[in-house]
Homo-oligomer: A and B are copies of this chain.
Amino acid sequence: MMLETISERCRKVGIRMTGQRRLIIKVLEDSDDHPDVETLFERANKIDNKVSIATVYRTVKILKNAGILEKLEFNDGRSRFEDAVRNHHDHLIDVDSGTVIEFIDEEIEHMQKKIAKKLGYELIGHKLELYGKKNEGNH
């Protein structure tokens, strides 16, 4: 199965493509970490300094509302955004270094649906973050 790119999904829902949006989307697609909005802005700005941070904020909000991006909050007061459909995964945050590890566990995904159903709800989204300390061998 071939997933659609962010741009393709934008076109599909009729989001007008401007130079800034194309650039911001490219930065998003090229990032394999979890940049906050400020970082996104810096990366875009390095390529083309005709992008303002207001536009970055506006763009990620539009893409989030269109269901194209997903908003992450790692308890540090800043928002991060990532592709909502490509590589769905949850996050494990190393509380010492801040490193973020992505993982996916089908069993957990399935149980979440089950729990929601049991409570009388249809699951439309979820957020799972694990916070951990590195296991230094077994001493």
A residues lining the B interface (CB < 8 Å): 71, 73, 75, 92, 94-95, 101, 103, 105, 107-108, 111-112, 115-117, 119-135
Give the docked Cα–Cα distance between A107 and B110 (Å): 12
Q: Judging by beta carbons under 8 Å apart, are A129 and B126 in contact?
A: yes
Complex interface: chain B residues within 8 A of A120 (CB): 134-135
Q: Are A134 and B115 in contact (CB under 8 A)?
A: no
Q: Indicate which residue in B108, B117, B122 contacts A111 across the interface (CB closer than 8 Å).
A: B108
Interface of A is mostly: strand
How long is the Cα–Cα vector from A122 to B135 in the complex, in angstroms?
Answer: 6
Interchain CB contact under 8 A, B107 and A111: yes
The answer to whether A133 and B121 touch across the interface, beta carbons within 8 angstroms, is yes
B132 to A124, Cβ gap below 8 A? yes
State in angstroms the CA–CA spacing of A133 and B105 once bound together. Answer: 23
Residues of B within 8 A of A92 (CB): 115-116, 119, 121
